[in-house]
Amino acid sequence: MKVGVPKETAAGETRVALVPEIVRKLTAKEFEVTVESGAGEGSMLSDALYEDAGATIGDDVWTSDVVVKVAAPSDDEIAKLGKDTVLIGFLGPLSAPKTTQALADAGATAFAMEAIPRISRAQSMDALSSQSNVAGYKSVLVATNHLGRFLPMMMTAAGTVPPAKVLVLGAGVAGLQAIATARRLGAQVTGYDVRAAVAEQVRSLGAQFLELEAGKGAEGEGGYARELTDEEKQAQQRELADKIATFDVVITTALVPGRPAPRLVSAESVKKMKPGSVIVDLAAETGGNCELTEPGKTVVKHDVTIMSPLNLPASMAEHSSSLYSRNVQSLLELLLGEDGEINLDFDDEIVAGACITRDGEIVHAGAKKTVEAAAGSASDGAAAEPAATTEPATGAPPAQQDMPPAPASEPEPEPEPAAAPAPAPAERADED
Q: Is there binding between residue 256 and ligand NAD (CB under 6 A)?
A: yes
Q: Which residue is nearest to ligand NAD (CB)?
A: 172
Question: For residues 265-284, which are near ligand NAD according to CB under 6 A?
Answer: none
How far is the CA of 120 from the CAs of 90, 123, 195, 246, in angstroms? 20, 5, 20, 39
Of 426, 393, 392, nearest in space to 13 by CA: 426
**224 makes contact with ligand NAD (CB under 6 A):** yes
Closest among 353, 375, 323, 380 to 93, alpha carbons compared = 353
Catalytic-labelled residue, pool 123, 131, 188, 266: 123
H or E, element range at 3: strand 2-5
Gap between the Cα atoms of 128 and 118, Å rounded? 9
DSSP result, 132-201? HHHHHHHHHHHHHHH-SS-SS-EEETTEEEPPPEEEEE--SHHHHHHHHHHHHTT-EEEEE-SSTTHHHH
Contact 389, 286 (CB under 8 A): yes
Q: What is the DSSP string of 76-130?
A: HHHHHS-TT-EEEE---TTT-HHHHHHHHHTT-EEEEGGGS--SGGGGGG-HHHH
92 binds ligand NAD (CB under 6 A): no
Tell me: does residue 178 bind ligand NAD (CB under 6 A).
no
Give every CB contact of residue 157 below 8 A, 6+ residues apart in sequence: none
Contact 105, 119 (CB under 8 A): no
Contacts with ligand NAD in 112-141 (CB under 6 A)?
118, 123, 126, 128-129, 132
Note whether 193 binds ligand NAD by CB under 6 A.
Answer: yes
Measure the CA–CA gap between 368 and 395, rounded to whole angstroms.
19
Q: By CB under 6 A, is residue 170 in contact with ligand NAD?
A: yes
Indicate which residue of 137, 192, 224, 324 is catalytic: 224
According to the binding rule CB under 6 A, does residue 43 interact with ligand NAD? no
Q: Given the complex with ligand NAD, which of 225 and 371 has the nearer CB atom?
A: 225
Please report, as residue ranges, which positions from 201 to 220 form the binding site for ligand NAD (by CB under 6 A).
215
- Annotated catalytic residue 15: no
Is position 137 annotated as part of the catalytic site?
no
Strand 109-112 versus strand 165-169 pairing type: unpaired
Nearer to ligand NAD, 20 or 223 (CB): 223
Q: Rounded to the nearest whole angstrom, what is the least distance from the CB of residue 120 to ligand NAD in the complex? A: 6
Nearer to ligand NAD, 17 or 173 (CB): 173
Answer yes or no: 123 catalytic. yes
CB of 113 to ligand NAD, least distance (A): 13
**Is 368 among the residues that bind ligand NAD (CB under 6 A)?**
no
Kindly state the smallest distance separating residue 110's Cβ from ligand NAD, in Å: 21
> Is 118 annotated in the active site?
yes
In whole angstroms, the minimum distance from the beta carbon of 241 to ligand NAD comes to: 14
Catalytic residues: 118, 123, 126, 129, 224
Residues that bind ligand NAD (CB under 6 A): 118, 123, 126, 128-129, 132, 169-175, 193-195, 198, 215, 223-225, 228, 253-257, 262, 264, 401, 403, 411-412, 414
